[in-house]
Chains A and B, each alone.
Chain A
């Protein structure tokens, strides 16, 4: 069965209150059409797991501007004053996670692990409320896995089966998130015939991908 969906139908499948992982780093590698459509459909009470919220009116920042996000798990909000305002005003609940820890919590969620042990954050406020374990004389924090209902992925290319590759720094969290969600929605810049992406180049295997967002008219 084809994984192809039009943008509107794919986003309609996301209920209010859903937990979303969204790829991207300061907007690079964020699925921008999906962001716009989430705003247009006015989804409410979302939990967003993402590296950052970019800037106002950019990438994930659009979801913040539209007040769609009730809870945010992220590493950095310094570039988005509106996210900071909502956090301080208590409108959006924000959990700040060291960037490498965020990547590993998502990875462990997708890889079937019970979490990771990391030295990052030991002895800082990040340690509060967490278990520590000593291994060979070194202290580690126990960081729990993260999973999501939906992963919204930006790709360079997908083939008709849903094999995916990525472009340069737009890769970032995308392949990790594609492992860690119940339903994986891929917005690719191009959708190409099967075989165009050589097997050695595929980063996200097709079995992980549920929906491919249909590209728009390519003849201007």
Chain B
């Protein structure tokens, strides 16, 4: 199993029946493929739909039915469409149960930076700032390191997405939970030792007496 699949399968365990969920572009989108059996989750795409589904076949592509990346999608029975103010009212107004987002950096205080690298990459924040400010639960799904450098840092050096503390960080090495005292190591990935996680992390971690191995969906 590749690292991204592992992360997606672990994040899938955080979802519950009946949840309204928004998945970011890239790795977070993979979570939809690994829901536990018989779980009914409503996926929102912030361009204005609840009940998005994969496009069943290429020949069914419809220009007026797309995801936030502009890709053609399908829709489940019970889907509904709405304008951008309603879509972000759902997000900002506390109606969204979970958002799963990628990250460039998360720091010891649990703050996330994921929308720009000054001088290098200026994509714009899109919906990320509203999602992190407003969702009931924010899960960051990302690789633990990039180009050999830890993405878990003492203090974010990149511009923050929000001052809100995220709720959970799932990486290819570990599951971390931000708290008032710092980042708690909740789980380690299969075959990964606590020392390996510590070595790949650029800040102190709180290590409980018992750190179980990461569970994932089938």
Which residues of A are interface residues toward B (Cβ below 8 A)? Answer: 25-29, 51-52, 54-55, 74-79, 84, 87-88, 96, 98-104, 107, 118-126, 156, 166-176, 203
**B62, B66, B75, B128: most-surrounded residue (chain A CB, <10 A):** B66
A77 touches B159 (CB 8 A): no
A118 touches B66 (CB 8 A): no
Cβ distance A166 to chain B, nearest Cβ, rounded Å? 8
With A26-B70, A79-B70, A120-B134: A176-B47 Cβ-Cβ less than 8 Å: no
A selection of 13 A-B contacts at a CB cut-off of 8 Å is A26-B69, A100-B87, A100-B127, A119-B92, A120-B134, A122-B162, A123-B163, A167-B65, A168-B65, A170-B64, A172-B48, A172-B83, A176-B84
Closest chain B residue, CB of each to CB of A175: B83
A120 touches B48 (CB 8 A): no
Cβ distance B62 to chain A, nearest Cβ, rounded Å? 7
Closest chain B residue, CB of each to CB of A78: B123
A118 touches B124 (CB 8 A): no
| Residues of B contacting A166 in the complex (Cβ-Cβ under 8 angstroms) | 83
The answer, yes or no, to whether B130 is at the interface (CB within 8 Å) is yes
Bound CA–CA A180/B51 (angstroms): 29
Bound CA–CA A66/B45 (angstroms): 30
A169 touches B161 (CB 8 A): no
B84 touches A103 (CB 8 A): yes
Closest 9 CB pairs of A and B: A78-B123, A26-B70, A100-B88, A123-B163, A100-B130, A167-B64, A170-B64, A76-B126, A98-B129
Q: How many residues of chain B are within 8 Å of chain A by beta carbon?
A: 41
With A26-B69, A88-B122: A123-B62 Cβ-Cβ less than 8 Å: no
B124 touches A96 (CB 8 A): yes
Cβ distance B109 to chain A, nearest Cβ, rounded Å? 12
Main secondary structure of the interface of B (DSSP, over half): loop
B129 touches A51 (CB 8 A): no
A99 touches B84 (CB 8 A): yes
Cβ distance A120 to chain B, nearest Cβ, rounded Å? 5
Bound CA–CA A120/B92 (angstroms): 8
Cβ distance B120 to chain A, nearest Cβ, rounded Å? 10
A118 touches B92 (CB 8 A): yes
| Residues of A contacting B125 in the complex (Cβ-Cβ under 8 angstroms) | 75-76, 96, 98-99, 126
Bound CA–CA A29/B121 (angstroms): 27
Bound CA–CA A90/B133 (angstroms): 31
| Residues of A contacting B62 in the complex (Cβ-Cβ under 8 angstroms) | 168
With A26-B47, A118-B92, A173-B83: A87-B122 Cβ-Cβ less than 8 Å: yes
A28 touches B129 (CB 8 A): no
Cβ distance A84 to chain B, nearest Cβ, rounded Å? 6
The answer, yes or no, to whether B91 is at the interface (CB within 8 Å) is yes
A28 touches B63 (CB 8 A): yes
Cβ distance A61 to chain B, nearest Cβ, rounded Å? 11
B122 touches A77 (CB 8 A): yes
| Residues of B contacting A126 in the complex (Cβ-Cβ under 8 angstroms) | 125, 129
Q: Mark B87-101, 1 if CB is under 8 A from A, else 0.
A: 110011000000000
Cβ distance B153 to chain A, nearest Cβ, rounded Å? 17
Within 8 A of A (CB), among B172-200: none
With A26-B69, A119-B134: A156-B64 Cβ-Cβ less than 8 Å: yes
Bound CA–CA A101/B87 (angstroms): 12
| Residues of B contacting A84 in the complex (Cβ-Cβ under 8 angstroms) | 122-123
Bound CA–CA A126/B129 (angstroms): 10
Within 8 A of A (CB), among B62-86: 62-70, 75, 81-85
Bound CA–CA A96/B126 (angstroms): 8
**B84, B127, B161, B162: most-surrounded residue (chain A CB, <10 A):** B84
Cβ distance A10 to chain B, nearest Cβ, rounded Å? 22
| Residues of B contacting A96 in the complex (Cβ-Cβ under 8 angstroms) | 122, 124-125
With A27-B70, A172-B48: A76-B123 Cβ-Cβ less than 8 Å: yes
